[in-house]
Chains A and B, each alone.
Chain A
Amino acid sequence: MMFDWLTPTLIAVLLVLAGIGAVRRMNLWRAGQADKVDLIAGLMAMPKRYLHDLHHVVERDKYISRTHVATGGGFVLAMLLVVFVHLFGVDSKVLAWLLLAALVMMFYGAVFVFKRRLNPPSRLSKGPWMRLPKSLLTFSITFFVLTLPAAGVLPEGFGGGLLTVVLSFCILASLVEMLFGMTWGGPMKHAFAGALHLAFHRRPERFGGGRSTGLKAAVLGETSHGVAKPTDFKWNQLLGFDACVQCGRCEAVCPAFAAGQPLNPKKLIQDMVVGFAGGTDEKYAGSPYPNVEVGNAKGGPDQIITDGLIHPDTLWSCTTCRACVEECPMMIEHVDAIVDMRRFLTLEKGDTPNKGAQVLENIIATDNPNGFSPSSRTHWAADQNLNLMKDVQQADVLFWVSDGAFDMRSQRILRAFVKLLKAANVDVAILGDEELDSGDVARRLGDDATFQNLAKRNLAILSQYRFKTIVTTDPHAFHCLRNEYADFDSDLNALASVEVLHHTTFLNRLVQEGRLQLDTFKGGKVTYHDPCYLGRYNGEYDAPRELLASLGIDVAEMERSGYRSRCCGGGGGAPITDIPGERRIADMRMEDVVSTGAELVAVGCQQCTAMLEGVVEPRPVVKDIAEILAGQLIEEAH
């Protein structure tokens, strides 16, 4: 019968075409900038990264994780065996039976893929993705039938002419999807690009349970800054964009998307693909940027992204909350890409929207975002009797006050924390007027020049004094000090042997050491809001909860808490650039709070406090954990 030559020929031709596609695709990625990656080690680590790290994320949706193991695992095994059995014609019953088993597994998985696609949630892309389950089923059934003779179940040359025609068509259809589509831009591309993305990831530290959240430093003084065109990205960032499976998990958690601001992280990544591959977004079949029509975006590898591919408002809507990154099964780095593009807008175009320009100018001229006199930075502590590092030169703990020093609401948090430090007899000092803005806002607004300048000056000041620990009540400063300053500290080693802590972590230690006497809290139901820069950026989910538990509080958790916490809307300079949407992110977060029935929401961040307190009353009370603790402090009579 004709399969004797048809099947192997089809397989061979499509494998060759897939090979050509793979080379073409790799050349698209290679148009990006060089980045140092250990290619061999990456490839070696890839299977483990896939099985462990990627699956760890996929596992959050049990249905799809099982489905994917069966389908993906079945397909990879089946494809390998197909090559031996049907291309090379290896005559082995064992192989044939193995192949049958793999195909059954794949078929089983594909049925569940099919079921999910019967009534898909809005976050999933449609279009070619709706075709995929059918292709998977076709592949598994077709090759199952084809393999039966080799397994000795059916005689060679069974079936009639009609079956032959039908099967030939099915072979072609399924191989086009599974092999050709893999490297020429079909849905199966995710397997090819995804595997390489895992191998050559720009943040290999993320694998094996690690965390890598600090932004990479911009190189200053070149002919351009930040990412203007797709080819300005690192090559492995481009590769990462290509790995997207359009599962829309990022879309489902994005606060800006939910608020109706013109941002959808999934669409953003797809637009990046349109950019470096060239073309338009008309084939995109997922949810659009809210209130922006799909089909008008055009891009090319060497075209300015914000000229026609992405509107700057899309980039400025992001709160850098990292929810999308945390949720992405392909471990794509949306925030890196967004800030890279913001850098171009701020450093090259001078186009930071709304209050952005003013804030940056203030930071440059006064080292704080509101342009207050630098000599008024310590006014809040006039009655606090705090040591200045300048006077004492050393202390156990350096309290990093942050710009909350200028804000009356934040000062209440600062005072509460100082009260606790004093009660526990901690040897503490502050920098006073020598402290500068941490640079967090400047960096998130794309002004890495100002960030780096502040980082270096802060480090120079820190290097003059001796202390073992830095504690701060501001998670943003915490993140900068802990994760981002190291890039600029190689000469001074100001922070090399210093432990940087958030105040909740530090207070939790004091409580556990029995250095704070606290009364039980009797004020009703309490919930806790995880600040993005404490939780997702630094992995601290436990200390705040343990502190609340130490007051006898049984936290009424919100549906979105811990690593899935929803942003308050205050990060990434979003309140400064203030891109209009349909709702306010803070209002949505307050609705989350209200739905727990809590009367009090505990936070660990002055910015979150400001955002949540900005929600119109009546609403639950907002307090920093330091304030709650200070209220329950049993002070010894002296």
Chain B
Amino acid sequence: MQPSVNVVSLVSVGRHPQSDRSRRADQDARAVELGLKLAGKNLTLVHAGDPENPVLRQYAGMGLDAFTVLRQKSYSDVLPIIGNFLTENNAHVVLMGIRAESGESSGMLPYLLAEKLGWPLLSRVADILHVENGKADVLLALPRGQRRAVTVSLPFIATVDNAAKDARQSAYGPGIRASITVLDAEQTADNMAASWAISPAKPRAKRMKVVKAKNAADRFKAATAKPVGGGGNVLKQGTPAEKAQAIFDLLLEEKVIR
């Protein structure tokens, strides 16, 4: 891939599901792994938050000599500064997890960023095959191990699915030696979020799944498969205009638009 392509991985501070302790977030780490595959040591690793957080070193320990922190207080809206950073630094490929493991964890950041920048968003990427001539060949992850190949023009934002390659081990030495560039960006206080009272979520009771499988293969499928909606159509044939019409009809039918 050409060195002129700027790959940025955005990372957050994760939270271990069992211990509640800060950690390298799983999906974000996969975003760094994918970034390393595309750009090697030229990958730009960016976090918006507290530069002192030791967890950031776990990302750097994956093989980066330096990373950038856009200094933010807690309860700040990171959208404006990340957006500015990406345009100022001429980012071409922006990778991040689908949702954060802590904080609001709404999964909205990639969408809001894409909207703000006017860039395409690819959600749930399994792999980026190559980036060439201003275009990228991307595999999207679908349920049951299916993949969809798409081509997208740069710049774009992608969220990285759990189907993407596992993050490599983080090495302690390089991690603690990595240099941090701290950028003191403007703060946009998120007063709404600051006023929320946050309490631990209770796991929702699971609906019992009655599996009427006759053989082991079916039971295995039922136990492992991601649920797929029953309805819907996969449109493989037809012109883009016909496909757009089909989507439009569906939205009308579902009363999303009137």
Interfacial residues, chain A to chain B (CB-CB below 8 A): 220-221, 223-225, 346-352, 356-357, 360-361, 364-367, 371-374, 447, 449-450
Contacts and interface: CB of A to CB of B under 8 A. Distances in A.
B19 A366 contact: yes
Nearest to A223: B177
Contacts of B169: 350-352, 356-357, 360-361
B144 to A, nearest CB: 25
A373 B19 contact: yes
4 cross-chain pairs, A with B, having the tightest CB-CB distances, nearest first: A350-B171, A357-B169, A350-B169, A373-B18
Given A223-B177, A350-B62, A366 B16 contact: yes
Given A350-B174, A365-B16, A366-B16, 15 more contacts: A220-B172, A224-B173, A225-B173, A346-B171, A347-B171, A347-B172, A350-B169, A357-B168, A361-B170, A365-B18, A366-B19, A366-B21, A371-B18, A372-B18, A373-B19
A623 B170 CA distance: 39
A450 B54 CA distance: 14
Nearest to A345: B171
Given A365-B21, A373-B18, A350 B177 contact: no
A225 B169 CA distance: 16
B100 to A, nearest CB: 16
B176 interface: yes
B61 interface: yes
Given A221-B176, A447-B172, A350 B18 contact: no
A356 B171 CA distance: 12
7 contacts: A221-B176, A348-B173, A352-B169, A357-B169, A365-B21, A366-B21, A449-B172
A379 to B, nearest CB: 13
Contacts of B165: none
Contact of B18 (A223, A225, A356, A366): A366
A371 B17 CA distance: 9
Contacts of A364: 23
Given A350-B61, A350-B62, A225 B19 contact: no
A350 B61 CA distance: 8
Given A350-B61, A350-B62, A350-B168, A374 B19 contact: yes
Contacts of A366: 16, 18-19, 21
B47 to A, nearest CB: 18
Contacts of A371: 16, 18
Contacts of A357: 168-169
A220 B176 CA distance: 10
Nearest to A371: B18
Interface of B: 16, 18-19, 21, 23, 61-63, 168-174, 176-177
**Which of B18, B21, B23: most chain A CB closer than 10 A?**
B18
A218 B177 CA distance: 16
A601 to B, nearest CB: 35
A225 B172 contact: yes
Contacts of A367: 19
Nearest to A349: B171
Nearest to A356: B169
A220 B177 CA distance: 11
A348 B18 contact: no
A361 B170 CA distance: 9
Nearest to A365: B16
B172 A365 contact: no
Contacts of B168: 350, 357
A355 to B, nearest CB: 11
A360 B58 CA distance: 12
Contacts of B170: 350, 361
Nearest to A450: B172
**Which of B23, B170, B171: most chain A CB closer than 10 A?**
B171
A306 to B, nearest CB: 14
Nearest to B18: A373
A352 B170 CA distance: 10
A223 B21 CA distance: 28
Contacts of B18: 365-366, 371-374
Nearest to B15: A365
A457 to B, nearest CB: 13
Contacts of B172: 220, 225, 346-348, 447, 449-450
A351 B172 CA distance: 11
Contacts of B171: 346-351
Contacts of B174: 348, 350
A346 B173 CA distance: 9
A27 B225 CA distance: 64
Contacts of A221: 176
Contacts of A365: 16, 18-19, 21, 23
A351 B19 CA distance: 25
Contacts of A447: 172
Contacts of A361: 23, 169-170
Contacts of B21: 365-366
A44 to B, nearest CB: 40
A373 B15 CA distance: 13
A219 to B, nearest CB: 11
B45 to A, nearest CB: 15
B176 to A, nearest CB: 6
B101 to A, nearest CB: 12
Contacts of A223: 177
A218 to B, nearest CB: 10
Contacts of B16: 365-366, 371
A366 B18 CA distance: 7
Contacts of B19: 365-367, 373-374
Nearest to B29: A361
Nearest to B171: A350
A46 to B, nearest CB: 37
B13 to A, nearest CB: 12
Contacts of A346: 171-172
